[in-house]
Structure 1
Amino acid sequence: MLENKNVLKIISLIIAILLWVYVMGEVNPDTKEKISDIEVTFVNTETLADEGLAVVHEQDLRVSAIVKGKRSVINEMKKTGLTATVDVADASEGKNRGKVELELPSGVTLDSISDDTISYRVEKSIEVKKTVEIDFVGDAGNDKDLVPWAYDMYPDTVTVTGAESVVNEVDAVRGKITSNVVSESPKTVEVELMAVKKDGTEVQGVVLNHSKAKTTVRLMETRDVDVTITSKNMENGKEVDSISGVDSVKVVGTSEALADLDSVSATVDVSDIKSQGKKELNFSLPTGVYLYNKGNSTEVTVKIKTAQ
């Protein structure tokens, strides 16, 4: 008798499991699910751009939502992710508020959302040109006193476009290259570019007219050389009293290019200096030699006096 009861319990458990599998797999019940960290993006920004305007990008602009639908559809949706957008086509300069729209797959409906509208700001759009800079990361892995170097960059300048306050945060446009891919033989590599602040963090919400650049990389030698400075565009009746601040600079190049190099030439434009001012040097370097200006200032102080 007891044995029959145990058999019945086992059979009942098996039937319950089979029914649960059937309900979950075949009947596919409706369910509710909370989706968090949905990134909000702005659409129709090109309409603003045509009017010389741009959205001030807010970092980590995200919402959460509770959605309803078939379990299988929601599970698949969770794999592909959800998109939330705000249409800015009709926005104007200054503060705006826009409706958050969720792009839901067929069979899924919105139950609730953490923020159905968001506030954002629109500013005048500006553009600036920045010289592309390369950062080498990691150990070059060579036993010689060589440094990785990038040259023959294309493009060597990039236009950065966006809201005025955001573009003004951009210090440089940089790409990163792993040092251990560089050898003593020249190699062409492609690098992803991003706009960064002075502290190296990425500036969100700007557009680069080139997202990638190609450059030649190679391990090269460095050398400290003297600088011979001459002035140009001197006002009549005036002459240089003194130029101070830079006596030598570090340059980089192949061993052949640096073989007999002891000094380099530079000019300083003094056209707008009346008595004293600070100016950047303009270098004239031999072919295959580059200014290794990391941490080195090339600004000089020029003093002007009446010609004797």
Structure 2
Amino acid sequence: MRKIVYALLSIVVAFGLWVYVITTVNPGYEETFYDIPVALANVSALHDRGLMLDTEKTPTVTLKLSGNRSDIIKLNKSNITLVADLSRIYESGRQRVAYSISFPGDIPSNSIEILSKSVVEITLDIAKRNTAQIPVVPVYVGSVPDGFRTDKESLMLDKDYISVTGPAALVDQIEEARIEVDLNEQTETINQSYRYTFYDKDGNVVASEKLITDATEVNLTLKIQRYKEIALKVDVTYGGGANKNNTQITISTESIQVSGSEQLLDALGDELVLGSLKLSEILEDTEIEYEIKLPEGVENLTGKKTVTVTVKFNNLITQTFQVTDIQTQNVPEGMDVELITQELTVTVRGPKSQIDQLTEEDLGVIVDFSQAELGTDTYKALIHVDAIRFNAVGAIGSYLVDAKLTETPEPSIGVE
């Protein structure tokens, strides 16, 4: 009976040893590992020589390996390391490069036998490397609504050029980096980032993953403002015999176009007053230049900085008279006036039919002393013309009278 037991035990032990050898120690275990990626070392050496990889896909190799099963089962395509050294490549074109093979550190290198390789050397395409500065060119689509304008001359880009590096044959094709700006329905200034597209000189798109750029977007600021036409005016005060019927006033530029914000243009209104024009102070036909002054933030699109106002008197003549009738009014209480000026030379203007009948007796000088103070001073004088007989005649120019104001003496009291 004991012999039978020993025999069975021997069979079990022998089977266990056989299983161990077959599953673990078996030195002839084989397995194939497909598409193991090859790491490329010293790529920077290519750049230093003006070269670069022109291969889009990572090269792979298939290996058939043999060894102890316990070692082989530890391997996979991720921990088998294949490295190709590019430091010995000195020219462009198709190059064949050897690669090294290494296994995880816990597997002795001499325990694995390489039965076969799909390729002994990998093949790489090497290109000449170039860097270029490509100008950014905005391309406008559509147009802003009526009543609005774009100021493309003051366009601002955060980058005027895109730096691009890649295969020389590809980089040399690039003519411009276009950004497409849609103007349709735009009524406010655009401040936005845009992706660009490379184009060649024939308008074809140039695109490749081999191109390396220093930016993916360009920020653009484009001023969009409302514009309108405003009339240019002068405030005219008629006088000195000049009225709407006998005076012709023309402006060299009657209107200009301006642009600005909605608020500024609404506040500006539909006309701009350049200044005032007092015809009683203008002696003869003349031209007066006015500067066009606009509120800050409003731009003059016309470009004209000044306009000329022409004044022409029709069928009017002038005549000079010596006037001695000088009257005072509104002398402050407690003051007396002594007129130093006794006679004024007065020039009047009007139609010949009335000027011919006018004499110095028809003219008077009035001096208002309501704001006077004690002492000698010069006061503005107004010229009075008999408006009933000479309704189309008026004095021209300005007139001054010298006068002395003193305190009114107290009345003397008689002694009995």
Larger radius of gyration: 2
Q: Same fold (TM over 0.5)?
A: no
TM class by smaller structure: 0.3 to 0.5
Identify the structure with bigger relative contact order (alpha carbons < 8 Å, sequence gap 6+): 1
